[in-house]
Amino acid sequence: MPAARFDYIAPTTVEAAVAALVEGGRDTRVMAGGTDLLVKIRHRMLSPKRILSLKQIAGLDAITVDKKNGLTIGATALLADVAAHKGIHRYYPTVAEAAGGTANVQVRNMGTVVGNLCNASPSADNAPTLMAMGAIVDIAGPTGCRSMALDQFFQGPGLTALKPGEIVTAIRVPPPAAGSGTAYHSLSQRGKLDCSAVGVGTLVVLKADRCKDARIIVGACAPVPMRTQAAEKMLIGKKMTDTLIRQAARTASEETSPITDVRASAPYRWKMVSVLVIRALTDARKMAVRKQ
């Protein structure tokens, strides 16, 4: 059948949006930038009866950076605005880099970071770094507001922990700990401006030359962007040598369960996880050393 013929509403408050979503049920899809949703509708992967745009809700596109509360990116803040934001560049450079490396200029001028997360694509470029940095999702719903860790948010390809009637209003990232460094490395066949076949986001917190904390998140190699906790554990409390990084990378690779698809084969992805984890940990370590 032709691409879905949907109705369109654009409530002006979060409350009204939640109410409309409750009323509309599963046939209503929330839209921020629309760059992913409209493609899915075109390809008949989704056929909603109604689209609920968040763009008319005042203030939802806010980006704030403050030393105490950290970074908040509103649900309708554009990828381009996140990529160009001075405060994000300064304090969360990898967040800006991942946003700036998502798709192309036009899509970044339309699409949002939160939308990229809510589509719950295993390869979402913005997920690994934000997960590594301990990002928190702010959710508004029929029973009020709640928050959850981003690494609990993804449930499977296209599936999130959102309950019926719930909307993500913002993503928050805590202030980076002293001595922390982050990095994101992704791989695709066409330059850096492409849908990633593998993506790795890392966070490393150093105290002297010891690793105090580490997060390794791998995208596109499991049903959700996944934390490789065994690999993280190998690093914590240890001196972060190149050898240890290589060992952790091997472990991280074993933790993932990639599939073969049009972008890459499973064996290649496995191999690349370890290559990219090495690169991302090495870069994060470098930044952490600088920030100490």
Partner 1 sequence: MKHDISLTVNGDTYHLSVEPWRTLNEVLREDLNLTGTKLGCGSGDCGACTVMVDGKSVSSCLTLAVEMDGRQILTVEGLAPSGETLHPIQEAFIEKGAIQCGFCTPGMELSALNLLKTNPSPSDAQIRSAISGNLCRCTGYNKIVDAIAEAGRRIKHPSKARR
Partner 2 sequence: MNAHSIIGKDIPRTDGRAKATGQAIYADDIKLPGMLHGKLLRSPLPHARILSIDTRRAASMPGVHCIITGQDIPRVTYGNWRLFPGTQDEYALAMDKVRFIGDEVAAVAAVDRDAAEAAIEQIKVEYEELPGVFDVASALATGAPVVHDTSPTNISIDRKIAYGDIDAGFAASDYVREDTFTVHAVSHAYMEPCACVAQSDLDGRITLWTSTQTPYIVQCLLASTLNMRENDIRVIKPNVGGGFGGKMELRPWEFCAAFMARQTGRPVKFTLTREEELAFGRRRHPMTVRSKVGFKNDGTLVAKDLHIYLDGGAYNAMGPTATFLSGNFGAMLYRYPNYRYLGEHVYTNKPPASAMRGFGAPQTLFAAETQMNIAAEELGIDPVEIRLKNAMVSGDELPGVATISSCGFIESLKEVRRISGWSRKRKTLKPGRGVGIGCYSFISGGVFNWFNTQYPFSAAEIRAFDDGTVHLLTMASDIGQGSDTVLKQILAETLGLRMEDVRLTAADTAMTPQADLGTWGSRVTLMAGNAVLDAAGKIKERLAGAVSARFDLNVIFDIEFADGRVFAAGKPDRGMTFGEAVAFVQKTQRGEPLVARGSYTPRGKGLVSPAFSFGAQVAEVKVDTDTGLVQVEKMWTAHDCGTVLNPMAVEGQLEGSVQMGLGYALSEQFVMDGGKTLNTTFLDYKIPNAADMPPGESVCIDTFEPEGPMGAKEAGEGLVSPTAPAIAEAVFHATGYRCKDLPITPEKVLKGLGKL
Residue 189 touches which member of partner 1, partner 2, none, C-beta under 5-8 Å by kind:
partner 2
Selected from 246, 275, 289, 292, the binder of partner 2 by CB under 8 A is 275
Q: In the range 69-108, which residues lie near partner 1 by CB under 8 A? A: 80, 103-107
The distance of closest approach from Cβ of residue 53 to partner 1 in the complex, given in angstroms and rounded to an integer, is: 7
The distance of closest approach from Cβ of residue 170 to partner 2 in the complex, given in angstroms and rounded to an integer, is: 28
The number of residues that bind partner 2 (CB under 8 A) is 21
Backbone φ and ψ for 230, nearest 5 degrees, come out as -60, -40
Residue 125's H or E segment, with its range, is none
The distance of closest approach from Cβ of residue 119 to partner 2 in the complex, given in angstroms and rounded to an integer, is: 14
The distance of closest approach from Cβ of residue 102 to partner 1 in the complex, given in angstroms and rounded to an integer, is: 11
Q: In the range 44-103, which residues lie near partner 2 by CB under 8 A? A: none
As a whole number of angstroms, the distance between CA 39 and CA 3 comes to 10
The residues facing 188 across adjacent strands are none
Spacing of C-alpha 242 from chain mean position: 27
Q: In the range 154-193, which residues lie near partner 1 by CB under 8 A? A: 191, 193
How wide is the angle at C-alpha 74 spanned by C-alphas 104 and 111, nearest 5°?
20
**Per CB under 8 A, 268 contacts partner 2:** yes
Alpha carbons within 13 angstroms on the beta-carbon side of residue 193 total 6
Q: In the range 103-132, which residues lie near partner 1 by CB under 8 A? A: 103-107, 109-110
SS3 257: coil
Ordered alpha helix ranges (H), the chain: 14-24, 37-42, 79-84, 86-91, 93-100, 105-108, 113-118, 127-132, 150-153, 229-235, 242-255, 266-291
Selected from 40, 50, 246, 271, the binder of partner 2 by CB under 8 A is 271
Selected from 173, 195, 218, 235, the binder of partner 2 by CB under 8 A is 195
The residues facing 78 across adjacent strands are 112
- Of 183, 152, 147, 181, nearest in space to 166 by CA: 147
Q: Which is nearer to partner 2, 139 or 220 (CB)?
A: 220
As a whole number of angstroms, the distance between CA 255 and CA 66 comes to 35
Residue 51 touches which member of partner 1, partner 2, none, C-beta under 5-8 Å by kind:
partner 1
Q: Which is nearer to partner 2, 14 or 51 (CB)?
A: 51
264, amino acid identity: A
Selected from 145, 149, 193, 259, the binder of partner 2 by CB under 8 A is 193
Candidate segments 1-9, 68-76, 201-209, 278-286, binder of partner 1 by CB under 8 A:
1-9
203 near 284, Cβ under 8 Å? yes
Query: What's 158's DSSP letter?
Result: T
Question: Binding pattern to partner 1, positions 17-56, x when CB under 8 A?
Answer: -----------------xx--xx-xxx-------x-x-x-
Ordered alpha helix ranges (H), 112-241: 113-118, 127-132, 150-153, 229-235
Contact residues toward partner 1 (CB under 8 A) are 3-8, 10, 34-35, 38-39, 41-43, 51, 53, 55, 80, 103-107, 109-110, 191, 193
Contact residues toward partner 2 (CB under 8 A) are 1-2, 5, 43, 187, 189-195, 262-265, 267-268, 271-272, 275
